[in-house]
Chains A and B, each alone.
Chain A
Amino acid sequence: MFRWFRAPATETQITHGQRLWLYVFAVITMVLLVTPTLIVVPMSFSDSQYLEFPPETWSTRWYGHYFGSPEWMQATRTSFKAAFLTMLVATPIGVLAAYGLHCSKVRFIRAAFVLMITPMMVPVVLVAIGAFYAYVQLKILYTLTGLVLAHTVLALPLVVIVTGSALKSYDMSQEEAARSLGAPRWKAFLTVTLPQIRFAVVTSALLAFLTSFDEVVVAMFVSGGDNPTLTRNMFNALRDQIDPTIASISTIMILVTTGMMVLAQVFGQQKEPTKPKD
Chain B
Amino acid sequence: MQAVRINEAGLARDEWFERLKLFGLGSPAMLLILIILVVPVGWLFYVSFIGADGTFSLENYERMLKRKSYARIFQTTFEVSFLTTGLCILIGYPLAYFISGLPNRIANLCLITVLLPFWTSLLVRTYAWLVLLQKRGLVNEWAMSLGLWDEPIKIVHNMTGTLIGMVHIMLPFLILPVYGAMRAIDRDLMKAASNLGASPRRAFWTVFFPLTLPGLFAGSLMVFILCLGFFVTPAVLGGGKVIMVSMKIVSNIELFVNWGAASALGVVLLVATVAILWVASRFLNLERMTGGGH
Chain A interface residues (CB < 8 Å from chain B)? 9-14, 18, 22-23, 25-26, 29-30, 32-34, 36-37, 39-40, 43, 50-51, 53, 93-94, 96-97, 99-101, 103-106, 109, 112-113, 115-127, 129-134, 149-150, 152-153, 156-157, 160-162, 164-165, 168-169, 210, 213-214, 216-217, 220, 231, 234-235, 238-239, 242, 246-247, 250, 253-254, 257-258, 260-261
Question: How many Å from the CB of B156 to the closest CB on chain A?
Answer: 10
- Does B121 lie within 8 Å of A168, measured CB to CB? no
Chain B interface residues (CB < 8 Å from chain A)? 19-20, 22-26, 28-30, 32-41, 43-44, 91, 94-95, 97-99, 101, 110, 113-117, 119-132, 134, 136, 138, 168, 171, 187-188, 190-191, 193-194, 198-200, 203-204, 225, 228-229, 231-232, 235-236, 246, 249-250, 253, 259, 262-263, 266, 269-270, 273-274, 277, 287, 290-294
Nearest residue in A to B30 (C-beta to C-beta)? A115
Q: Give the residue of A43, A109, A150, A242 whose beta carbon is less than 8 angstroms from that of B36.
A: A150
Neighbouring B residues of A235 by C-beta, 8 Å? 123, 232, 235-236
- Does B190 lie within 8 Å of A10, measured CB to CB? yes
Q: Give the residue of B117, B231, B249, B253 whose beta carbon is less than 8 angstroms from that of A33.
A: B117
- Does B168 lie within 8 Å of A32, measured CB to CB? yes
Neighbouring A residues of B134 by C-beta, 8 Å? 242
Q: If A22-B94, A32-B168 touch, does A261 touch B119 (CB 8 Å cutoff)?
A: yes
CA gap between A118 and B199 in the complex, in Å: 46
Q: If A96-B29, A125-B246, A150-B36 touch, does A30 touch B200 (CB 8 Å cutoff)?
A: no
Can you list the 3 inter-chain pairs with the closest CB atoms, starting with the nearest?
A123-B229, A130-B40, A100-B25
Nearest residue in B to A247 (C-beta to C-beta)? B131
Q: Give the residue of B24, B40, B98, B291 whose beta carbon is less than 8 angstroms from that of A165.
A: B291
Where chain A touches its partner, the secondary structure class is: helix
18 A-B contacts (beta carbon < 8 Å): A12-B190, A12-B198, A25-B98, A30-B110, A37-B120, A51-B131, A93-B32, A94-B29, A101-B23, A104-B23, A115-B30, A125-B249, A126-B270, A157-B290, A250-B121, A250-B128, A258-B116, A261-B119
- Does A37 lie within 8 Å of B250, measured CB to CB? no
CA gap between A37 and B32 in the complex, in Å: 35
Q: If A11-B187, A40-B127, A235-B123 touch, does A216 touch B232 (CB 8 Å cutoff)?
A: yes
- Does B168 lie within 8 Å of A97, measured CB to CB? no
Neighbouring A residues of B24 by C-beta, 8 Å? 100
